[in-house]
Each structure stands twice: as C-alpha cells, then as structure tokens.
Amino acid sequence: MTAHRTVPVPEGLDGLRLDAAISRLFGLSRTAAAQIVTGGGASLDGRPAAKSDRVSAGETLDVELPSPEQAPSAPVEVVEGLHVLYEDDDVLVVDKPVGVAAHPSPGWEGPTVIGGLAAAGHRVSTSGAEERQGVVHRLDVGTSGVMVVAKSEHAYTVLKDAFRQRTVDKRYHGLVQGHPDPMTGTVDAPIDRHPTSAYKFAVVAGGRDSVTHYETIEAFRHATLLDIHLETGRTHQIRVHMAALKHPCVGDVTYGADPTLSKKLGLERQWLHAVRLGFAHPSDGRWVEFASPYAPDLQRALDRIADMS
C-alpha cells in the first residue's frame, strides 16, 4: 500500500536532486527515496522524473510514499533537560542542556537537539545539510543555553541570512580565570583549526575573522564573570579568544584552564552559558528575545567561587 502526497518544493530544497529532496521532505533514507523514483512513484509538475533530476522551488511534487504502517519506525531519542522556551509556525527556541550536540556529526554518539525535538514530535525545516536540517546556529556540546531552530523553510532562509549579516544578538555569560585587563574590551583575532590538534581551534594568522566583545559583570578573587557579545560565530570562538587573553573559561581544561580550580568548583565542563538570544522574527520582522537561566552546575560553581573571595 502507498500514500499519495502532493507538495510544493520549498525554497530550501531548490537545486537538489529529486531523490535527495524526497528524502529530506518525508524523512526517508536516500535509498528508499531513489527506489520510489525509479519505480515511477514521483513526478514534477505532472511530468515523469528521474532521480537525478534537479528540483526547483515552487514546482509541484507528486509522490507515492510507503504507507505509515509499512514505513520503518525512527529511533526515539529522548533528551533529558531539553526544554522548549517558545514555538510557533516558523521557529523553535530551546534551552539546550550540557552534553547535548546541536545535530548529529561523525564521531558523536550522544544526544542531539534535533533528535530530541523529533522524538518529542516537533517538526523542523527540511533545509540545510541532511544531518542538520533546521539548524541555523550551534552551541558546543559543553555549552548550555538558548538556541533557535527553524521550523519553516522561509524561517531557515531568513535566519541563516541574519546570522551571516550579524544582525542576531547573541549574549553569553562566561566565568574566566583571573581578571582581564581592560575590564571591558574587544578581541578581534582570526580563528582557524589548531595547527597540531584536530579537535581544537586557535588564533591563526589568515584564519576567519572573529570578533568578541566582553564586559565585566563581577570580579571575584580568582575569576571574573563576563557578559560576552559575539559579532561572529566561529566554532569555540569565546573559548579560543578568552584563552588568547590568558583568561580561559573556568573549567575549560582543553584551552588551558586550571584543573585544580575546576575540581574545587565541581565543574566538568567550561563555565559558559548562552543567556540571551535576540533576532528579527522571520514572519513579520518584529524583534524577539529569549533568555535562559544558568544551568545548575554553573550556578553551584559561581556560588563556590564567590565564597572563595
């Protein structure tokens, strides 16, 4: 048995091969999608199509899908601590816990935001690479806080452009070792892959432009709590820039933090939290902002560092 579906090709899939487009639209494997097309189960604007044909946004796709009872069930990935802060037809705003990746990637076998949302029945955009559909920005596995995911193809396009144009307000709080001088400043230093470590990044001449602004919130005896504003969004940007200042995030032993202090504070990751995210809503342009309270392990560590002062 099959189920007939007729849908317009969304903008986010423009230019893809037909089998890839069907795979993303309906959550099928690429092999299953190709079998549908080669079996004559798909057409574009009423004309027969081959799996290698490229789809265009706005075309009408007719496809015969396996009936739900015949389709294999997707694995359920329950992600503890993943909370939805806001949802409408275009966006999902979540509070990401530590230990959760934004999306699947080679070598990562732990929980993901995308997997957790799917398990909870939330729809996300089909735009983007197959393993990161709907993801318009990421937080490190070891960084907690607020994150937005696109639900509609329109939202994906608008939000990706907003991040590229640097019109999104991304605010973090970071507890760093020592006391930065000056107390308020900007780090403008290019970042690229670390020259000798495959899993790290570094300030590298000729790397991608990277700009981080910081302002002191409170200074303690052994550390300083900073409000951090990103202009760019490079992988590990805050961690790399703070390490370059010789003031790594507390707990971030990968980038030179004192492991003894981390142990005293009970930290098993960097003290870094995405506290606020603001952007123009993709549907009507109104400015919206969302906030996330400190994760429990970060609050405990902050209380302990205050007691040590």
User: Are residues 257 and 248 in contact, defined by beta-carbon separation less than 8 angstroms?
Assistant: yes
User: Are residues 262 and 304 in contact, defined by beta-carbon separation less than 8 angstroms?
Assistant: no
45 has catalytic annotation: no
User: Are residues 128 and 145 in contact, defined by beta-carbon separation less than 8 angstroms?
Assistant: no
Q: Which of 19, 90, 95, 140 is catalytic?
A: 140
Task: Single out the residue of 30, 31, 57, 64 nearest to residue 127, CA to CA.
Answer: 57
- Give the H/E segment covering residue 259: helix 259-265
d(CA 239, CA 244): 9
Task: Single out the residue of 121, 1, 122, 118 nearest to residue 69, CA to CA.
Answer: 1
Residues 6+ apart with CB under 8 A from 31: none
Task: Single out the residue of 71, 234, 90, 197 nearest to residue 152, CA to CA.
Answer: 90
Task: Single out the residue of 184, 116, 142, 159 nearest to residue 277, CA to CA.
Answer: 159
Count of Cβ atoms closer than 10 Å to residue 66 Cβ: 17
- Which residues are designated catalytic? 140
